[in-house]
Amino acid sequence: MATMTDDCCTSGQDGRSERYDLAVIGAGSAGFSAAITAAELGARVALIGHGTIGGTCVNVGCVPSKTLIRAAETLHQAATAARFAGIEAHARLTDWSATVAQKDQLVDALRRAKYRDLLAAYEGITYIEGRARLAADGVLVAGEPLPSGKVVIATGARPAMPSVPGIEEVSCLTSTTALAIEKLPRSLLVIGGGYIGCELAQLFARAGVAVTIVCRHRLLPESEPEIGAALAGYFECEGIEVHSGLEYRQIRKTGDGVILSARAEGGDLRLVAERVLIASGRRPNTEEMGLAEARVALRPSGGIEVDDRLRTTKAGVYAAGDVTGRDQFVYMAAYGARLAAENALDGDKRRYDNAAMPAVVFTDPQVASVGLTEAAARQAGHAVETSLLPLDQVPRALAARDTRGLIKLVADAETNRLLGAHILAPEGADSIQTAVLAIKHGLTVAELAETIFPYLTTVEGLKLAAQIFTKDIAKLSCCAG
């Protein structure tokens, strides 16, 4: 749960003596999804929150980060406008604190509109403020019993600290606090090459900060290697230092910053920066909830163990969202929580299915994927066939004079069915949904190649990538095939 305070939504004690059909612990995206679903089914719901209502996404995650990413993107667009002949543009950052304040205004407005003020629309939901703990008959809230038939745990996750010697002595920024700083540092060391590290590294670099990003493996280790390698190259073109495959030795503070000592394949490294940002993963919020006493098992990663119906190892208790430690995207949290509520109240009929789950990294170019990577498909026993389309073969990219990126498709060589799609493109996020639908409905790459796509769009690249399986697209005219 969030730890900040917000008094706007605190309810009184009058709802605690009642018995509820469902108690939802956590008032973020997953918690609200579960509560609204249950209320629509006619249940009496206790929605239990602690701290700022709304959870990670609206307060310290998706909304604020993407707002600031867009702001910094305008600076980059001006700097690269000269790629078009006869055009010159200039932009400069004049007041970062004003940019942050504008972001905060949007966060406040969405928190009220989509969370706090939404409660009044559902008579079946009672919002209760306080720390919750599992009990024999429902839950305890601030030590007081709140009887309920079933329970959904949706307490989310928080930034995790990596195991680097000396890190406890260093004042580190996290993905939460970094979005709130009103004065930019001169230099920034980003520890972590996952989606959060990549997004924030580019954001601050475009705002004028000298950024170095380090990681133990490679950038975006769960993505296709071609995508991580290409993105690393684009980062370096923007002046971002990228060091991968490191073994961290020590980090320590100095009079004017921090020093990270690490070992790389080429020898020892000593990296210096004014501030350090930790972006090495997130930790599920499972402490002080009585999970062990209730015999609710945890996964090795620290998330709550659930089955495909979102049931925990304790009867009547379900869990959804980031607290499970998997599929940590807000839309998957909301989807899972909806299923958990339905299953809790209606006989466990719904199965959690992430086979066609889209994932987006809001770097520039954007990374978007769905389905299996080539390696995962082979590991699953498929005979695999792939296609790789550089963006300089996509007319939209040529017209935009920005050919950074690629599209990779993964197919079953025996059935021709599309197994995975992976896009690195400036408009990749808005292009992936076509591949999501293709995988969801079992389309083959031949069927994708035969589908009509609008010309001069990035999503047309999916058609071209599908055509590569059987044709030389260099010998096709525009829109042919």
Q: Which pLDDT belongs to residue 51?
A: 87
Q: Return the CATH class of domain 7-59+99-159+283-346.
A: alpha beta
Percent of the chain whose predicted confidence (pLDDT) is above 90 = 92
Is 325 known to sit in a ligand binding site?
A: no
Is 461 known to sit in a ligand binding site?
A: no
Residues written for the chain = 481
For the residues 221-240, what does the mean pLDDT come to?
97
Is 172 known to sit in a ligand binding site?
A: no
* Entry pTM: 0.93
SS3 143: coil
Structure tokens at 202: 């580019």
**Which residue is associated with the tokens 């905060």?**
104
Q: Which pLDDT belongs to residue 1?
A: 32
Is 253 known to sit in a ligand binding site?
A: no
Neighbours of 475 (CB within 10 A): 7
| pLDDT above 70 for 152 | yes
- What is the fold, at CATH topology level, of the domain defined by 359-473? Enolase-like; domain 1 (3.30.390)
For the residues 59-66, what does the mean pLDDT come to?
96
Percent of the chain whose predicted confidence (pLDDT) is above 70 = 96
Among 349, 317, 322, smallest CA distance to 336 is for 322
**Which residue is associated with the tokens 């839950």?**
139
Q: Which pLDDT belongs to residue 478?
A: 76
Give helix 195-206 / helix 62-79 axis angle, nearest 10°.
Answer: 50
For the residues 197-220, what does the mean pLDDT come to?
97
Structure tokens at 279: 């972006």
Q: Which residues contact 336 (CB under 8 A, 6 or more apart)?
A: 30, 310, 320, 321, 324, 327, 352
What values do phi and psi take at 295, rounded to 5?
60, 40
Is 51 known to sit in a ligand binding site?
A: no
Average predicted confidence (pLDDT) for the chain: 94
Q: Which pLDDT belongs to residue 4?
A: 31
| pLDDT above 80 for 256 | yes
For the residues 319-338, what does the mean pLDDT come to?
97
Cα(224)–Cα(372) distance, integer angstroms: 10
| pLDDT above 80 for 481 | no
Domain ranges of the chain: 7-59+99-159+283-346, 167-280, 359-473
Element holding 360 (H helix, E strand): strand 359-361
Q: Which pLDDT belongs to residue 477?
A: 79
For the residues 283-302, what does the mean pLDDT come to?
95
- Judge if the upstream peptide bond of residue 365 is cis by omega within 30 degrees of 0: yes
| pLDDT above 70 for 12 | no
Is 281 known to sit in a ligand binding site?
A: yes
Among 46, 121, 57, smallest CA distance to 332 is for 57
CA geometry: angle 246, 252, 254, nearest 5 deg: 130
Q: Which pLDDT band, with edges at 50, 70 and 90, does 11 fall under?
A: very low
Q: Which CATH number fits domain 167-280: 3.30.9.10, 3.20.20.70, 3.50.50.60, 3.40.50.720?
A: 3.50.50.60
- The Cβ-side half-sphere exposure at 435, using a 13 Å CA radius, reads 36
| pLDDT above 60 for 281 | yes
What values do phi and psi take at 84, rounded to 5?
-95, 125
pLDDT in tens, 401-459: 999 999 999 999 999 999 999 999 999 999 999 999 999 999 999 999 999 999 999 99
| pLDDT above 90 for 8 | no
Amino acid found at 131: R
Is 197 known to sit in a ligand binding site?
A: yes
Q: Which residues contact 17 (CB under 8 A, 6 or more apart)?
A: none
Q: Is there a shared CATH topology between the 7-59+99-159+283-346 domain and the 167-280 domain?
A: yes
Is 193 known to sit in a ligand binding site?
A: yes
Is 290 known to sit in a ligand binding site?
A: no
